[in-house]
Amino acid sequence: MNRRSLHTATVVLLALSSAAFATAGETRSLLPASPQAAFPLKVSENHRYLVDQRGTPFLIVGDSPQGLMGNLSEADAEYYLADREAHGFNALGWIDVVCAGPDFPTNHYATTPDGLRPFTGFVGHGKDYEHYDLSKPNEAYFVRLDHMIQLALNHHLAVFLNPMETIGWRATLRNNGVSAAYGYGRFLGNRYRNSKNVLWISGNDFDTWSAHEDGALIKSAKSGIREAIRTWYGREDDALVQAVARGICSVAPQQLQTVELQPLNSSSFDDPTWIPLIELNSTYTYSPTYIQMLHSYDQKPAAPTFLVEGFYELQPYSNGSGTPLTLRKQAYWTMLSGGAGQVYGNPYTWSFRNGWKSYIDTPGVEQIRYWRDFFQSLKWQNLTPDQNHFILLAGAGFLGDLNTKISDSNYATAARTLDGSTVAIYIPTRRTVTVNMASMSGLTRARWFDPSNGTYQEVSGGSFANDGSRQFTPPGDNHVGDQDWVLLLTLSGVKR
């Protein structure tokens, strides 16, 4: 979670909207709950998404309860996890194994709410969490973590565990050294290698690196793909964090790993030394999501990428805020730019600050369900981004660059399945778009999907031929008075 870009806020006002009902001419998405995944997850054969043990594509629908271990009792965790399952989440974007440091400034020893410390000794002459002895884990603390992971499994949730998040724990790693960090990783890997729902995510604003930007960045931004020369200047920290990941891998090589690097924009593969250690290329951005997401999608080797962190709902930032519209932009841009899912967050449920139960079910959470239902109604795993504008011939809008605010971006993203059976175009603001109908493989049904309430409206005109071009204009403001819509083209069932 990026702290430097946040404005301090003690109170955030939330206007809860009333339940939305379909109006005339609309049909609501009423998909049943997602089928329960058969864990453990693995990478698909084409390395673009995750699948379960049945080979069923796994769309990452994540929440980010980073502070769970430091702030929730088992009873409160049960309440939270049951709620997330009920709202269609299938993953926990990450749980910090240990909670202290700038993200948790009042938790001086990374204790559980009832006072369990994660380690029983110290190194050197220190007596603070930065001097914890990683070779002396507290069994009672890790039994508690065992229980939390099992509770998540009971609710059919995959869990990304962050073994030692790097906002608060780099000093601890330095005080222990590479050998101890590796041993700690082996301890975690041995303990959780049989936990079928566990994946691993290292980092968290892991920013001991910088980007040297040259003309390539400006040039590439124009094509929607980020290219920058990354120069690492914190090799010691990198070696320490990687030592933990290597320790895990040495005893649990089957468990998938990834890393979250720096704000404000990064992809896991931007640090090439991580590529041999990880299978997932996580995308982290506070810029228009499609720019960094397409960068991740185009990196080599191919790997599943997902939005691991962006704007959080209710969270004020220096370059915007996590409004419902911002969240929708992030979500649909992600999936139509090669993403395999996303992680939602808000300041109450990532940190579990006081009052979190009053902010657990928000408009953003409801929108996540609509987003999930929309893409699960399609073969989302086969969608390919329209990087060369084969689909969207006109009306794409302003591409922008990494300095463009999400609120200022009106860029439309499009994707299609290569068999020509489906095209989806997310249009953030009202305008007419021109679509290449030859991108479809047969007579085509056209519908508008309202991402603010999960309803569909048919485009009049019946079935459309799959030749030439056709203009489409959204039907007006959506249910909440915003202008964003998704144009969905599918085969009408009659082949030409």
3-state secondary structure of 273: helix
The whole-angstrom separation of Cα 151 and Cα 322 is: 29
**Please, which residues have CB within 8 angstroms of residue 43's CB and are 6 or more apart in sequence?**
49, 50, 51, 256, 279, 280, 303, 304
First to last CA, the chain: 51
E strands within 220-296? 229-232, 257-260, 265-267, 283-285
pLDDT of residue 21: 32
Low-confidence residues in the chain, pLDDT < 70: 1-34, 208-234, 494-496
What are 357's two structure tokens? 């139960």
**Please, which residues have CB within 8 angstroms of residue 272's CB and are 6 or more apart in sequence?**
none
Buried b (16+ CB within 10 A) or exposed e, 344-375: bbbbbbbbbeeebeebbebbbbbbbbbbbbbb
pLDDT of residue 318: 83
Beta strands 229-232 and 257-260, pairing class: unpaired
pLDDT of residue 1: 61
pLDDT of residue 105: 96
pLDDT of residue 234: 59
Please report the domains of the chain, with CATH numbers, ordered by start residue.
35-380 (3.20.20.80), 392-491 (2.60.40)
Which residues on adjacent β-strands are paired with residue 86?
Answer: none
pLDDT of residue 28: 56
Q: What is the DSSP string of 373-393?
A: HHHHTTTGGGEEE-TT-SSEE
With tokens 């649990």, the residue in question is 252
CB 108 within 8 A of CB 128: yes
pLDDT of residue 208: 65
Q: How many residues does the chain have?
A: 496
Put simply, whether the predicted model's pTM sits higher than 0.85 gets the answer: yes
Cα dihedral 93, 95, 100, 105 in deg (nearest 10): 50
pLDDT per residue as tens digits for the range 423-467: 999 999 999 999 999 999 999 999 999 999 999 999 998 899 999
